[in-house]
């Protein structure tokens, strides 16, 4: 077991922190036209989506099951084929109808039919629930009301009717309501449904590569991020949690959270030299950081037209864990356009960039697709669903804090404890050919 408080030299020697540890260059060039699938897929999956249009999550994840993707330096085709789809919203920009026709995939008007492929019992080996994108209302907390819970219930109803369950992946967090998220996890455990949920942030490339040792003396951790308050709020909390869960004693749950904005957020970090040092450390890893003063840049930030959830920073999400550890997610719209992490371990600072390759390809979703495929094969998720349950609850609660005058919100009713996996599963090496 690694020491609880490693020296900086020892830490670097025993981890994948150094860039010199990058994997060899890709052995195969990406192609304008992907190579032909070498053999027919053996297993079937159903895709249940809210929208399937250009650059949507269903497009990126589903497309990699259809078209293959680079894996370990070579073009890879999954053993799982999309056998049925349900897409709730088929607007003018919808691609699902053309894709269904091109790949001979039946497109159903009901989630249950996509799972049974029009028959009378479950006929697939896995399910992808991708409720991200589409025209849905926002509530007072600026949460987009994606029907993840409702679609999950329909999938579960078919599992129960068929008397059989298969691995189920849910893209992003479990939903906007933490009570319903608790119910979803409870249902999955009761029915023994293999369940994996989350986004690409914890498993995308890290620059430099940083794997915190298990049981390290991590008392506070920081994520600096940007973007829409809910969408990237979740990403920021998930990036924070995949690091904080590796502290001594494992994850024991969250006592309370709080959201601060504007001058109150600046006052919180400026009164504590420790937070200011970690912010500087995190920003040193940000290739997108703006020049000049962060306060001024946040003040000058202009939210994109028609995007009400892009807010002028700073916005601070403060997380108080039950064991006394503290986490902070700081949204600095106008000053950065990426996500970085910093922590103090035994008096030494460590930091990294959660690298998201630029659009349109969203190559970071290849990392997520790889984990999804492994999960569908084994039935074992790369990390426990408790992580996503906790980050879902934290997000809902910090947005409630903002709505209710920025007061602290207790999360003691969310009973979550777990130990992080030995390997956190992030992609090592570079994603481009050197």
Note the pLDDT tens digit of each residue in 14-26: 443 333 333 333 4
Residue ranges per domain, the chain?
8-21+210-355+385-410, 43-198
Residue 136 has a pLDDT of 97
Residue 74 has a pLDDT of 84
Residue 70 has a pLDDT of 86
- Packing angle between helix 385-403 and helix 178-191, nearest 10 degrees? 160
Look at residues 139, 31, 30, 122 and name the one whose alpha carbon lies nearest to residue 84.
Answer: 122
Helix, strand or coil, per DSSP, at residue 219: strand
The answer to which of 15-24, 171-180, 223-232, 382-391 has the lowest mean pLDDT is 15-24
Residue 34 has a pLDDT of 80
| CA atoms lying within 13 Å on the CB side of residue 422 | 2
CATH for 8-21+210-355+385-410 is 3.30.360
Segment 352-373, tens digit of pLDDT = 999 998 888 788 899 999 999 9
Q: How many CB atoms lie within 10 A of CB 66?
A: 19
Specify whether the CB–CB gap between 2 and 214 falls below 8 A.
Answer: yes
Residue 25's contacts (CB-CB under 8 Å, 6 or more residues apart) are 73, 430, 433, 434
**Domain 43-198 = CATH 3.40.50.150:** no
Residue 28 has a pLDDT of 58
Residue 432 has pLDDT above 70, yes or no: no
Strands 254-261 and 409-410: antiparallel
d(CA 317, CA 298): 16
Look at residues 348, 266, 259 and name the one whose alpha carbon lies nearest to residue 314.
Answer: 266
The answer to which of 12-16, 77-81, 97-101, 172-176 has the lowest mean pLDDT is 12-16
CA distances from 157 to 131, 145, 160, 183 (A): 18, 21, 5, 14
Query: Token pair for residue 113?
Result: 């039919």
Query: Token pair for residue 333?
Result: 């719209």
d(CA 384, CA 23): 27
d(CA 209, CA 190): 38
Residue 386 has pLDDT above 80, yes or no: yes
Residue 29 has a pLDDT of 63
Specify whether the CB–CB gap between 230 and 143 falls below 8 A.
Answer: yes
Query: Token pair for residue 153?
Result: 């219930």
Query: Token pair for residue 307?
Result: 């995007």
Residue 18 has a pLDDT of 37
| Torsion from C-alpha of 176, 182, 186, 187, nearest 10 degrees | -20
Q: What element of type H or E holds 48?
A: strand 43-49
Q: What element of type H or E holds 352?
A: strand 348-355
Residue 62 has a pLDDT of 97
Place of tokens 């000053």: 335
Residue 434 has pLDDT above 70, yes or no: no
Mean pLDDT of 419-433: 86
Helix, strand or coil, per DSSP, at residue 275: helix
Q: What element of type H or E holds 329?
A: strand 326-331
| CA atoms lying within 13 Å on the CB side of residue 398 | 29
Residue 37 has pLDDT above 60, yes or no: yes
Residue 294's contacts (CB-CB under 8 Å, 6 or more residues apart) are 283, 314, 332, 335
d(CA 113, CA 122): 9
- Packing angle between helix 148-162 and helix 178-191, nearest 10 degrees? 20
Mean pLDDT of 46-64: 97
Residue 8 has a pLDDT of 44
Segment 325-353, tens digit of pLDDT = 999 999 999 999 999 999 999 999 999 99
Mean pLDDT for all residues in the chain: 92
Mean pLDDT of 300-326: 95
Segment 139-174, tens digit of pLDDT = 999 999 999 999 999 999 999 999 999 999 999 999
What is the percent of the chain with per-residue pLDDT over 90, rounded to a whole number? 84
What region, left, alpha or beta, does residue 348 occupy, with left being phi > 0 and alpha being psi -120 to 50 degrees?
A: beta
């Amino acid at each position: 077991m690694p020491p609880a408080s490693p020296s900086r030299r020892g830490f670097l020697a025993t981890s994948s922190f150094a860039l010199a540890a990058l994997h060899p260059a890709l052995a195969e060039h990406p192609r304008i036209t992907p190579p032909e699938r070498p053999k027919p897929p053996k297993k079937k999956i159903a895709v249940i989506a809210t929208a399937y249009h250009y650059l949507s999550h269903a497009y990126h994840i589903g497309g990699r099951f259809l078209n293959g993707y680079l894996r370990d330096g070579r073009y890879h085709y999954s053993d799982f084929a999309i056998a049925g789809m349900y897409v709730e919203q088929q607007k003018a920009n919808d691609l699902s109808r053309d894709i269904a026709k091109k790949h001979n995939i039946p497109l159903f008007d009901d989630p249950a039919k996509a799972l049974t492929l029009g028959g009378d019992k479950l006929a697939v080996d896995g399910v992808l629930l991708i409720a991200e994108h589409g025209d849905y209302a926002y509530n007072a907390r600026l949460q987009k009301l994606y029907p993840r819970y409702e679609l999950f219930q329909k999938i579960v109803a078919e599992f129960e009717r068929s008397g059989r369950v298969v691995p189920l992946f849910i893209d992003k967090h479990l939903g906007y309501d933490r009570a319903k998220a608790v119910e979803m996890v409870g249902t999955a455990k009761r029915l023994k449904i293999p369940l994996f949920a989350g986004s690409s942030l914890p498993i995308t490339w890290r620059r430099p590569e940083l794997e915190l040792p298990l049981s390290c003396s991590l008392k506070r951790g920081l994520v600096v991020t940007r973007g829409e308050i809910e969408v990237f709020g979740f990403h920021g909390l998930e990036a924070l949690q995949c690091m904080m869960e590796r502290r001594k004693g494992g994850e024991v749950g969250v006592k309370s959270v709080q959201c601060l904005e504007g001058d109150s957020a600046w006052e919180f970090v400026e009164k504590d030299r420790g937070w200011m040092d970690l912010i500087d450390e995190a920003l040193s890893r940000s290739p997108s950081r703006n020049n000049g003063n962060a306060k001024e840049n946040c003040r000058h930030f202009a939210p994109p037209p028609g995007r009400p959830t892009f807010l002028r920073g700073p916005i601070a999400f403060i997380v108080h864990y039950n064991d006394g550890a503290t986490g902070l997610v700081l949204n600095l719209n106008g000053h950065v356009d990426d996500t970085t992490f910093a922590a103090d371990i035994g008096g030494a600072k460590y930091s990294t960039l959660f690298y998201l390759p630029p659009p349109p390809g969203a190559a970071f979703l290849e990392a997520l697709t790889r984990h999804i495929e492994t999960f569908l094969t084994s039935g074992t998720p790369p990390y426990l669903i408790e992580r996503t349950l906790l980050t879902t609850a934290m997000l809902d609660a910090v947005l409630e804090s903002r709505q209710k005058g920025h007061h602290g919100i207790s999360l003691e009713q969310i009973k979550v404890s777990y130990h992080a996996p030995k390997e956190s599963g992030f992609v090592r090496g570079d994603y481009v050919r050197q």
